[in-house]
Amino acid sequence: MTTDLTQVDPAKLRIELYPTEVLRMKANPVAVDTGVDESLLAVAHRMVDLMRGAQGIGLAAPQVGLPVRLFVAHVPTDPEAEPDPSGLPISTDEPQAFFNPVITEYSKDLEPYDEGCLSLPGITGEVNRPSTVTMRAIDIEGNEVELKATGLLARCWQHEIDHLDGVLILDKMTQMSRLKNRARIKSMEKAAKR
């Protein structure tokens, strides 16, 4: 089943906060059989604006209330960072949008990193993820692409695709990080019930 975004008003999209139900839903594929239309482009551009406004590096459609398989990402180049010895990208020059993304290959290693999430403001925790991934998706021009990345860019893609499957960093944090954030999580859950 695919989802049609032609009825969505991008101007009304806002970042949803935990524990909003849509954050736990498995997202539906986006209809891109005939290409990426104006409604999809408008939603992707609005998501980029929201991501930038919140000073994030990625944003998935469920985070703006849309249960569809779309995410945007922009991991800016750190002028002080060394290029990865593998030659794989670790950053992007411009924001990118991906429709119906799937990770097709993961490296076997796991690297810890302190992750945050725009839907969980004030919460960060250590998450172990493969350092390198290969992703297949439809890009903003409607082309099927297969891309490989490492470092923060690979982590960003994994984080956003988790959102498309209803998975949050809360589910992947180390035990110590969960304990550290327990009070803040409870506070967000309590605030949502009011």
* Annotated catalytic residue within 94, 111, 160, 189: 160
For residue 159, give the nearest of 171, 148, 142, 144 by alpha carbon: 171
For residue 52, give the nearest of 74, 68, 70, 71 by alpha carbon: 74
Can you tell me the distance from the alpha carbon of 152 to that of 150, in angstroms, rounded to the nearest whole number? 7
Rg (CA), the chain: 16
Q: What is the 3-state secondary structure (H, E, C) of 71-94?
A: EEECCCCCCCCCCCCCCCCCCCCC
- Is 160 a known active-site residue? yes
Point out the residues that are catalytic: 160
